[in-house]
Structure 1
Amino acid sequence: MTTTDRIHPTGRPGTAMPAFEGAPQVLKLLRKLVTRPLLGEVPVDQRGRRGIPMLCLSRGEEQAELLTALADQLKNATPRRVPHARHSFTAEADDSADQTELILVALRDLAVQLSTGANTKYGRMRFSRFHLVDWLLRQEFSEADDVDLRARLSLRSRRRDRLSRDGEPAAEAFDSRWAVLLRAVGAIRFAVRLRGRIPGVGNEYRWLLRQPYLAPQDPGTFIGFAERLTRNLNVYEDQGQLQRLIVNAFLEDVRAAHRPFPRFLRAFRRTTYTVLLLDRITPANGGNRLLRLINDVRNDIGAFDPLVVVSGSTVIPPDPAELGAADDEGQTRALETRPAVEAEDAYEHWLTLFAHYSRTRHHTAWYLPLEIPPPPAEPQRHRRQLDGIRRFAFRSPPWWARRRYTRTVAVLLAAAVAAGTGQLTIGSVQTYQACGILPWDRDAATIALRDDGECVGVSGDSHVFLDGGSPAISAIERQILTTNRDVEAAHRQEENANRPYATIVYLVAMDTGETTELNSTHEGLMGIAAAQRRLLDGGPESPLIRVHVANAGSRMQHGEWVAQQVGRLADEDDTLVGVVGLDQSREATRRTIRALSNEGLPMVAATLSAAQMPAASPLYRQVSPDNAREAEVAAAFASNVLAAADAGPAEITREIRILSPADENDLYATDLTSKVGDAFAAQGFHVEGAAVGDDAGSNRFRYLPREDSDTAPPDALRANELGRQSCDYPGLIFFAGRPDEFNSFLSGVSGRCQDDPPTILGGDDISRFAADREDRGRWPTVPFHYLSFAVGSPSCNSPSNLYTTMRELFEDVCNATIDPSLDGHAALAYDAFDVFATAITNLQRNNLQIPVRPGMVQHELSRIHGEGSLSGETGRINFGGSVDQQVPEDKVVAVLVSQGSGVPELQGLCGAHQNRDPEGWCETP
């Protein structure tokens, strides 16, 4: 009997655990990692991000059977086998081997093993996402097929959908008439699965279009994206992104198998995590690359993976070549290889570093390397230690999750479903699929799925619009819900009986799709959450304010309908006194303001600046300056700084070309174009293109907006082409558009004249572009100036009230690599909320009997001027000058310059600010 053919402790022959110093510690650590708690996840309590490390075992060839022995331990665990799969990589691969194909081969093998009967005691694992991606990657078409590739791919996809589930198509067994009917039914069934609107049906298709790799939004349909994945075309895709897509599909299938809902009984039967054993990995055979991809995907996605990965190799991964030559020295090697005898201590040390390394997306955040020593000369002592560990033993599933009870539960659930069927309609099912809300939920009456697929409405108690994003982003909205509950609890306490109590709606335009990147919408929510929390923790005069978050659609297109829902809530709740936020100066926003005015609710906007907004309602106010003031500051800066005689090499001629979108519904752009033309003409600039006064609409330097516009002229160019045409312009290029088109404009400039770009000044909306480090660093050779209504902080370390509170509430976001609140949206939202809070405080300061109602609050808003003006995060807010003034006087407008990925630098500031004096070149408004 050989050393690898010993009798296993169970009495069955198997591969015995090799005896070496530290073997018991390795087994104890593996058992700890594999054990799944009854409630929650992760083997031990972890603060912040949760995860299970990848156990990397470095052993010599004399310990080559180590992973085979570990697989035997998992197979013979009690009370049942631990689901696991082992793949041994070939040692014959060289550096020229196709890494993508090697990874696919390994994951196919692992998926087959995990879905076979031996591993399905807990419930079958279905790798629907991975098999779909794998199938698409293997589709190949001849040149003759390429002419109609998309149609042929659609046909193959329908056939695969039938074959993969029901065996051979039933249509083959019938005559032609019935075959045609069955094929039609099959096509309809495939179309339903493809839409992914019914819970549990076609999840893999829906997931493929929402996962973050290879930009599936281009072109945004399954067949269109699938076409890019076929063997004919995937060679043109970024292979690193393609490999991450493959690995993410595999990991998502494992997550789905452990997810408590909807298969919660099966999930609770899983008392252990799934284990992958990757043996004989090297830099060339795909093993090292697979580990690196798992590390990177976990960093990117942020979801918990119920998966224990154990690798075996002669060299600890990752090798320096795998990390990449571009990594700096600190990133290249942050791993400390510990001996096997210190396995448990090494895990504790990994836990202390993990939160930081995963948050910063470190290349080795998930690696836990251990050195396996060679076999000892006298293994008897180590063998006796191993004999004390007979076999892995795990807890049994809870009694209510066992099969004998699940049948009873299934009957009860079926009865409950039958009772609730009367409340469900096709529309409510689609609403649940898109919005995650059911008819009996508390917010169901004020939230709806619109025809364009947008989930809009008002969340009064529990709904999270951004629940489809990363955990850090959804946590922002959840913080507001948490503070709402704290506010209600404080209101019930006797010591707070005299504190004013009110409800405010924060209405913005949200993109509720899956996202992992912070944007201005999320920053505004952070500002609102910080303002609400500071009031709650304030003194006895600080009002207690609940916040309802409302979404009017990604372009405010559903604002009127949402305003009606806000009105319904105001009728039912007399503490609801107004609306803050609003978003995007568009025609839809103006209609929303009018609808809210019809409901009798005062409004304080955070970022709007078009002249049409105040004109829409006397109940409207804003904390930002208007476009006329922005244009005056821009003209003064250009005249006194950019076109000054001592401007040096950057001096421009006194002429200006204004670029704006050809969209009459974009009131911000049309109004800013007009105001900029007038202001620069007053400063003696020649305005090219007749973008002045009544002729502003005829500006010939208008570009096609990203979204289709009914008012766009047929001869309008793309922003990219206007960027190329701007290269030789000796004057100032003023960009009066949106961030997406500005990115396209800069690409055109960079493509033609990156060595000598024109002088560029962007409107305040470009601050959203400049706040994103990745966006502004994309064109490092094309610097640009831009205007901003707030001088944001590049981090949450600023000592102001806003940023101090933001750091307390959102530490993970503040420590992220992006720049929170650099564009000032958090500060503007904070100030808009504070204006309402000040009005409510003043209302009851001298007379506690005055009720906090919309009309009384509107009256107090008009009194925020003079000595009663507010010193806000974005400067002084003073509605002086006249009784009906809606725009603050002498409001701050800053000019910054962005050069590459570095933090933009302040070039000047005009307006009343508590911490900064205005520049000498600022004109008195």
Structure 2
Amino acid sequence: MPGDGDRILSEDRLRGVLDLFERLRERPPWRWRERLRPLLLLLGPAGPAAHVAEMLKNRCEQERAPVSHIAADTPATDVAGVLREAKRELSQPSSRARGEPALRFPLLEMALWLRDLREIRLAGDQSPPRYASPSERENFQLVRRLTHPPVGDNENARRRELNRVIRRRGRDVLRDLEEPRSRTATFLSFLEQIAPIGVAVVALISAGTAAALDLASAVLAAVVGLAFVTVQIVARTRGWYGVRRFGWFVGQPYLQRDSTGFLGFALGVFDPRPVEPDDHAEQLDLLLVAAFLEDLRRNYRRDYRRAAWARVRYPVLIFEHLAPGHPGVRVIEYIEHVRADSGDGAALPGFDPLVVTAGVDPATPAEDGPSAASGPRLVDRLAQAVRVDLWSGEPQSVFAARALWDRYWREQRRVGVLGSRRELRVDITRDPGGDIPPVRPVRRRPRLTHPALPWIVMVAVAAASITVISVQVDRYCSPFGIKRTASGECIGITDGSFKFGEASDGENNDNRLSSVLGRLKKQNDAVARSGKPHATIVYLGPITADPAIQNRQLDLLAGAEGELVGLAMAQEEFNAASQSLRMRVLVANAGARFQHARQVAEQIRGLALKDRSVVAVVGFEQSRAETQDAIKVLSKSALPMVGTANSYNETGMLDHDAGFSPYYFRLAPPNRRLAQHAAYWASHGQVGGKRARTVDVIYNADPHDLYSRDLASSFKSSFTGYVKDGQVVVRDYDSPGNLGKTVHELCQKPPDLFYYAGRSDEFRTFTNVLQHTCPSGQIVLADDEIAKYVSDNAPQIGKVATFRLFYMPLAAHEAWTDAWVGDRRNVFFNAYPGAVDSIIGRNAPRDLRPSETRAAVSYDAASVIGFVAGQVFTAQAAPPTAGGVFAALDDPGEGPLWNGASGVLQFTGRADGHVVEDKPVLLATVRAGGAVEVREVCGRLVTGHQARADCPAGDGTPSEPSR
């Protein structure tokens, strides 16, 4: 039958004690509610106290909560022994939840290690015991090295040796040598201090950078951020990082030495004087206790570490039963002493989470000895140690009154940290009687502190950021400034390393331009390797076709390809001829129809601000509203601009008050000059062999297209001036389908001449409908715009019997014949076939070769800039600038500036828009075999004399007997 003692100490009868114990060790969910826990004294004989202590220990271990049970017969004989046992048990797997890191005690380990060295030093025997552990043997060897350093360098040698070992221990502390290194929880707990947060922050920054700036910046942010996280992880495994935490010792009030830094402190602990003060041992014990409490405080500190928030039970130190000589008595006294020291000058930062409970017999005396029976009791000694001493309230003198307020606030802070009561007593032998309510449920670990949560959040944030970046990648064809538009085009600036032309549907169509872009890249690399000063020319043009065109054969990239070939030829020629200065060429894609010209012009402007070698921009081949915007943007940067095929009458016009931009120079004749010649030749029988009286003019009605409407209007005005009774029907179109319908209607009553003022993109539609709807023998006259179409389709055009095509190219090698210029030949046209074979390849299909016309005008544009840049470089003996190049273009002096492939180049003043004076205007036709024949050459193709052509009155063609 169970006795009364067993009935009293059953778990059901101890519900009140268990409930109190749970409240003591339960950690509040909020920081501001945390307070130091009072000492729990279980009053009773040794037997019942041991039974209750075992019950409390089992309760903690069942929950895998941190607990240390110090038995009454513990082998520990001093404070250090108790703390070693407490540290060992609090670090056991049974004292933590699965997957959670163990409590770690680096400060206590360091303090105990220094104490061990000190004890070996004081003992004087530097030979380890026979059965000493490897770590103990290492300590003895270290003491020997520290006490017998090299002669002549005693202090420095001791410092170096101790510093080396301390660094190693700092690294080992971080590695947590108490645990198997392969434990997943240990490894993840080490990484989760920085990896999840660091990776998540880097991912967010990278995604934000990709959205706000560009992909290159996002990649840079990711690389820098991940490198920083990696450095942090690696750094925390270094000894010096571990030693940093040992700086805490220097700020403690125990064992003060006349030294600076932790190394001096450690030497002071290790190397005591021959006669130690009486309180030195006590001071060292206080330091051990302070280190123990500080380690616990750091383990429970609410910061970025998830594990600290996951700990919902305070660590418990259970003394089974205390006797007067038990070291646990001093441990409790020292714990309260340290707490009082920290609470005397600080508030909550001095808080530590330790819960202490002790079994004490109320009759046990405070001290051992014969007279102890009549002296104070042990329970009173403990109560005195934990008491919160406050001022008694006795009156002060009028002089001491000035300190009362400061004393009052110090006591308030002290009470705020220590609480108003520091002990709770429970008589475990008293029968409570009656029924006791069940123990209240305890707080569970918050779900948000699950060990996997930081990694799940990290993966989620990283995945979301990668998704954002992946979406942003769709904006970028290349990380370095090449962006993808909503329509799928790639726009931006390249040195040739990026190959424009990837179709929006994923079809790779860059083979047409990749060769010439590769040549430009190769030549730019050679410029960089030369180390010589260089001038940079930026080409702005439509490098990609309109993604809306379903038939990829309609890309009509011959014009862009031709202009790039001309640039490559001019660059190679200039760099081969110049001894000191080099030319670099960058390619800026403004998108099909120059839709993104303004945006890319802003990029060029920004580049010019950073790279002073940018001296000019060439291109601008299409007369569109977007081109005008780009010219206005670049004019703000005072960058010289040379237009190749842009012929709109008001190209470069800033506004009607400001006039033309002073920085824009045009190679193509304006529409009024082209229309005048076209109307003259149509009305005088040079086109088709008969005088036209009726003309149907077709133009593109796109409101952004300045060229087409302007050319149509100029032609109508000029033609009616030549033919008073002539009839001009002007029809527009806004789509290929609408164009086909218009041509079908006009063919019901064909005119003497069709004048096509539309774009080359729709010329195929025009010719297809024309040859299947109109009667044979139609005459078609067009401008240079369709030269791109002719370049790809001349053989097919020559086979068509329904119509005969005449057009007006800006340049043609067929004009450089004996019939027109005698035996004079142009360097460009002599070199062009070989250059094309070298760049594009000899076996390239005939319909995929670059436009010779556009190559000629871009060659002239780049050559003029190179020639002027060379002059500036020679005159200034310094790399040319945009300002110097502009000044030379604006005031070239007497005589022509350049004898180009498209004619003699001599620019007029700003008032006229910097046009080329007497720029050649050619009339060409496609013959039956697909060969191009130049029928008329008006204007100055060469200096001196050239053959006379049938030109409008007032044309500046040199006088020469007609052919």
- Give the TM bin, normalised by the shorter chain: 0.3 to 0.5
What's the TM-score once normalised by structure 1's chain length? Answer: 0.47
What's the TM-score once normalised by structure 2's chain length? Answer: 0.45
